[in-house]
Amino acid sequence: MKFQPIDLAAAGLRPDKRASVYQSTKATHEKRTKLLFEQYNDPDQLRRWAGEVKQHAIENLDAYLPAVEAKLKANGAQVHWASTAESACQQVLKIMRARGATKMVKAKTMVSEEIELADYLGRHGIEALETDLGEFIVQIDHDHPSHIVRPIIHKNRREIARSFEREGLGAYNDDPQTITSRARQFLRHKYLAADVGLTGANFVSAESGRMVLVTNEGNSRFCLAATKCHIALIGIEKIVPRDYDLALLLNLLGRSGTAQELTVYTEFITGPKTAEQPDGPEEMHVIFVDNGRTDVLESDCREILRCIRCGACLNVCPVYRQASGHAYRSVYPGPVGAVLSPLLEGKHGFAKKADLPKASSLCGACHEVCPVNIPIPDLLLRLRNRANQEGIASPGTPPMGAWALLASQPLAWRTALVASQVMNHLPTNLLPIPALRAWQEERVLPEWRGGKFRQWMSQRRKAK
Amino acid sequence: MNEEREQIMMRVRRALSPIQERAALPRYDSEMVVQRAMLAGRDRVELLAERMQRVNGQLFTDVHALVAHLSAQGWKHGYCDPVLWPALAVHFQGFTVELEFDRTRVDDYAFGITRAAGAIAESGTIVLNDTTTSRRLAALTPWVHVAVVERATIFLDVPAAIAGLGPDRNVIWCTGPSKTADVEGILIEGVHGPGVQLALVV
Ligand code: SF4
């Protein structure tokens, strides 16, 4: 039998990787739940509100996007628009070239992964260095992140130590403290030598044009203290209506993603620095990226655009825990990725990732933990339906033809029900397959009761 | 690139046009995200100290204790915002403290002392902004950051701090020292930002 690509990838995962993904996702999920339920009376109500806030925002983007643009411009930022990945990359390059810049330091942004910016810039002679520790390791290993919050959840310290040794960052040492301080030492001089700092944004308030950036390591802070030019790549769905909504969203983001009340650094940026501040970008560019998002907005799965990329649905998902992130073959793994990735492929690319929505038992855990209350299982069903409508092949699905035939012919069905009584008299101790025989020795099959309901119905009718 | 702007706006409008009734902005009270029971009747400074400790930060109200702590750890060379220095200088006998920050020697500074714009008691957070921070790099690159917080600027909870963000172009909330759990989920402090976050409340 053939299998779906995601199943094949999951089956090939090394047991030690599976174990490490399983353990750390489980631990984070448990801490998240404890924190939310110990500190709040009704965290589910908070999730519902946050979901409504974001749903309202994406359903009113036609008004909010121009509003944000006007605010940002008034604050001294330059605003650009990119409808495709390619255009976004080109616009970043253009800004760099206009400044004569050759070095960029990057904070972690999912959009830049999505458009493969670092590779693009590398091909055009620009050093674009990842500064988030996990992303830095992914970059030196020419690997891909496997989790949206914890990019190297699939790597162990020994692999990392070998990579550091290979890159000349010191003799082999797999102590996490040493690994971290070596990265600190190496990267701080890179920030100071770079001309451009690139970040994403977690939220942008339409009311004030404030962009909000959260990190634990402080790398986006460093980008915005050391460099002279700030480029922010922002998906158009990151808008929130008001500053007021940030308290709700930030409290949920920290707790849901990493089980922290607040992420260590929360930055609120409204424009380039003023003349009084010696450090930081004098020039600020914001690039709003579509890259398939308007297609998602048009689809019946637009709720997925509420996502605040916390990673909670990955941590709780039984499929993600077994398959890890690479099996999803995209920047966004896990339940959110199973919805978002096929959609972002656009109308013509959907088939390539149509297996992802099927990699779910529809247990609903993702919906239960989502801080913006996205009904992911419903969206998965809609996408399965779409794949079916579009006639996309589904390898690994058991053949149901004979069953369908039987179930749609009343006479054949009745005959089968009666004939199956034979099962009650099968000599199961003579089963030809040893494994089945062994199983049968311990257990008894329930008695076949096929046709009983029909009997009851017809008797009931007669009695009337 | 104006063309692309129009294209995106047009696609947004097209995507939204079939929606009969757009989702309304919910009315909610952000009081719901505040751990009010924990805050009730507490002194802000005491609470801030407690909550900072929870995220591995440390608060001092006594400058002698702060200086003794720095000294005991061997952190004797640092930077101080020149505005703060006249009041602090007498306490820092035997230290090398620079009033100019030189970005070519970031590794020389074990600590940086700068003014905070405020704090948030509920979350144990220090609030920095460009108006009060003399140099962004000085509050960020040394191993130890000492934020000097004025008592009157401490917000009680997160929604109050959001409401009080003000017009500053760069506001940073620091909740504990810089950290990562990227390597096998093990918590390590001091990745790119300070490994030690201290506050001196005056
Ligand atoms: S879908 Fe929800 S739970 Fe999953 S990453 Fe997005 S916000 Fe978090």
| Mean pLDDT score across all residues of chain A | 92
Helices (H), chain B: 2-16, 36-39, 44-54, 63-72, 85-88, 136-140, 158-163
Q: Are residues A98 and A232 in the same domain?
A: yes
Q: Which of residues 437-456 of A touch B (CB under 8 A)?
A: none
Evaluate if residue A1 carries a pLDDT over 70: no
| pLDDT tens, residue by residue, A343-390 | 999 888 899 999 999 989 999 999 999 999 999 999 999 999 999 999
Q: Is the pLDDT of residue B150 over 80?
A: yes
Measured in angstroms, the CA of B156 and the nearest CA of chain A are apart by 13
**Contacts of the segment B14-20: beta carbons below 8 A, 24+ positions apart:** B14/A294, B14/A298, B15/A294, B15/A295, B15/A297, B15/A298, B15/A302, B16/A59, B16/A60, B16/A61, B16/A62, B16/A297, B19/A59
- For position A5, what pLDDT does the model report? 84
Q: How many domains does chain A have?
A: 2
Q: What is the mean pLDDT of residues B151-170?
A: 97
CB atoms within 10 A of CB A312: 32
- The secondary element (H helix, E strand) that includes residue A180 is helix A176-193
Domain spans, chain B: 42-201
Strand order in the sheet with B170-174: A239-240, A203-205, A211-215, A265-269, B170-174, B125-129, B118-120, B154-155
Q: Are residues A181 and A63 in the same domain?
A: yes
Kindly tell me the sign of the dihedral angle through the C-alpha atoms of B41, B46, B48, B50: negative
Range of the domain at A70: 8-293
Q: Does A119 reach chain B within 8 Å, measured CB to CB?
A: no
Evaluate if residue A334 carries a pLDDT over 80: yes
Q: What is the mean pLDDT of residues B149-165?
A: 97
**pLDDT for B27 beyond 80:** yes
Residues with CB under 6 A from ligand 1: A 307-313, 336, 369-372, 374
Do A188 and A136 meet the contact criterion of CB atoms below 8 Å apart? no
For residue A449, being part of any structural domain is answered with yes
- Global pTM reads 0.90
Which residue among A293, A325, A350 closes a domain?
A293
Q: Do B185 and A24 touch (CB under 8 A)?
A: yes
Question: Does residue A144 share a domain with residue A22?
Answer: yes
**CATH (residue range B42-201):** 3.40.50
Q: Which candidate in B51, B101, B170 is best for mutational testing of the A interface (most A CBs within 10 A)?
A: B170
Query: What does the pLDDT read at residue B31?
Result: 92
Summarised one tens digit per residue, pLDDT across range A144-183 is 999 999 999 999 999 999 999 999 999 999 999 999 999 9
pLDDT digits (tens, 9 = 90+) for B87-140: 999 999 999 999 999 999 999 999 999 999 999 999 999 999 999 999 999 999
Partner B, chain A 348-387, Cβ-Cβ below 8 Å: none
pLDDT in tens, A271-311: 999 999 999 999 999 999 999 999 999 999 999 999 999 99
Choose one of A251, A275, A293: the last residue of a domain. Answer: A293
Range of lowest pLDDT (A209-218, A232-241, A322-331, B163-172): A322-331
Reported as a pLDDT band with limits 50, 70 and 90, residue B1 is low
Chain B contact for A270 (CB, 8 A cutoff): yes
Question: What confidence tier does A59 reach under pLDDT thresholds 50, 70, 90?
Answer: very high
Residue A421 lies in a domain: yes
CA of A367 to the centre of ligand 1 (A): 8
CA A446, chain centre distance (Å): 44
pLDDT in tens, B43-81: 999 999 999 999 999 999 999 999 999 999 999 999 999
Where a domain ends, among A259, A276, A293?
A: A293
| pLDDT at res. A9 | 85
Please name the residues between 57 and 96 in chain B that touch chain A, using a CB distance below 8 Å. Answer: none
pLDDT at A403: 81
Query: Could A62 and B16 be called an inter-chain contact, meaning their C-beta atoms sit closer than 8 Å?
Result: yes
**Nearest atom (ligand 1) to Cα of A309:** 5
Residue A321: inside a domain, yes or no?
no
Neighbours of A242 (CB within 10 A): 14
Percentage of the residues of chain A whose pLDDT score is greater than 90: 78
| Position A218 in a domain | yes
Q: What's the pLDDT tens digit per position in A393-406? A: 777 776 777 788 88
CATH of residue A179's domain is 3.40.50.10420
- The answer to the question of residue A316 being in a domain is no
Whether A227 has a pLDDT exceeding 70, the answer reads yes
